[in-house]
Structure 1
Amino acid sequence: MQTKIEKRVEMLLRDGRGAIVCALLAFVSAAHALESDSEQPIYIDSNTATYDDKAQTSVYTGNVVTVQGSLRVDSDKLVVYLKNGEISKLVATGKPARFEQLPAEGKEKIKGEALIGEYYPGKDLLILKKEAVVWQGGNKSASDLIHYDSRNALIKAGEKSSDAKRVHSVFKPKPKQPQNP
């Protein structure tokens, strides 16, 4: 019996949408976000927006597009948490919420999706939860939990505490160059 994640990986492979960032933890050395991304302002566009000064939260709904440098997140809803006037956390939800980021000039974009995405701009950390999938080029990983730390060029998937929550990865070989006769 296939899990939702395994079905999602198969669906993504069939529809031709690429795959994840190199081999988790060690294979990701080239995958760090453009250095200037964290220094850029965060732009949010949505159908509706509300701000609660007492709770220091903003809620955006309806076709929410969030951009910071080369990082883009598309979601159904976004909750922004402030601390001392600074954004401490953004939580994007959707069916699914999607992200993409250019890791470096000349590299392929890193893309991902999940039902919940938590972004910590001060740490350059994106945490994807529930039916999470991340891909780059011909490589892909899927799990219920994926951490993408663009500052340190690190991707972690899965949970050590649970054998039931497996990580599913696919690595496609690069096409061989034809040899000259």
Structure 2
Amino acid sequence: MKPNHKQRFFFRAILLLACHYLPTAAALESDADQPIAIDSNTATYDEASKTSTYTGNVISVQGSIRVNSDKLVAYQKNGEIDKLVFTGNPAKFKQTPSAGGEDILGNAMIGEYYPKKNLLVLQNQAVVVNGNATYASNLIEYDIKSSLVKAGEKSSDTKRVHVILKPKPKDKPESDKPETETNPPPTDKP
């Protein structure tokens, strides 16, 4: 069954609105200038509630930022995206904070992104890996612009934050390096 003219127009309009109004988070400076591409199995727009809902293997990409989720809901306020909520089992994100830099990875059952604040809030089994540090908590706030991670809930001392700080790999001293043809062992022969 071929979509009729109205259906094609509707989905093109949703895609154009999404590309125009979705957040412009800055991982690399150029990320904010990049369009957002959303691929999903289904897409709906509710004019009354000003929400766009994408379901089924949702992949959102803007520059170096990528989110994979089962569902993504975009909430509009005053003609702009106010909040994006993504869910998954778990939903995953990846960001390259600088050219040639190490990716920041994260996942959670629920994520909320507030574009005006450059704030990503991960909830329920949240994990963020930033360089040599891994943060795990029920709640993690991640400032996309400054790469600042805050973990834990202020309301409860019983819900602990788990952090693993891995040491950087050390370079082996010259004496520990294996011998090669360019560096043969010394001989006693004259």
TM-score between the two structures when normalised by the length of structure 1: 0.78
1:118, CA displacement in angstroms? 0.6
Q: What secondary structure sits across from 2:32 in the alignment?
A: helix
More helix by share: 2
Q: What's the CA shift for 1:121?
A: 2.0
Cα separation, partners in 2 of 1:39 and 1:125, compared to 1, 3 Å = farther
Where in structure 2 are there 5+ consecutive unaligned residues?
1-25, 176-190
Aligned ranges 1:40-79 → 2 under 5 Å: 40-79=34-73
> What is the Cα deviation at residue 120 of structure 1?
1.5
CA distance in structure 2 between the aligned counterparts of 1:160 and 1:83, rounded to whole angstroms: 28
Cα shift at 1:167 = 0.6
Is 1:103 matched up with 2:97?
yes
Query: SS of the counterpart of 1:100?
Result: strand
Select the structure with the greater relative contact order (CA < 8 A; seq sep ≥ 6): 1
2:136 aligns to what? 142
- Kindly provide the CA deviation profile for residues 110-140 of structure 1, in whole angstroms up to 9, marking residues without a partner as x: 0000000111222221110000001134321
Residue 164 (str. 1) matches residue 142 (str. 2)? no
Q: Give the superposition deviation at 1:160.
A: 2.2
5+ long unaligned stretches in structure 1: 1-31
| Partner Cα distance (1:172, 1:82) in 2 | 41
Aligned residues: 150
- Larger Rg belongs to: 2
**2:173 aligns with one of 153, 157, 179:** 179
2:106 is aligned with what amino acid? G
| Aligned amino acid, residue 39 of structure 2 | D
Q: Give the conservation status (yes or no) of the 8 Å contact 1:38–1:124.
A: no
AA in 1 matched with 2:111: G
Instruction: Check 1:36–1:124 CA distance in 2 against 1; reply closer, same or farther (3 A cut).
Output: farther
> Residue 129 of structure 1 aligns with which residue?
123
Q: Which amino acid aligns with 2:41?
A: N
Distance in 1, matches of 2:50 and 2:163, equals 39
Q: TM-score, normalised by structure 2?
A: 0.74
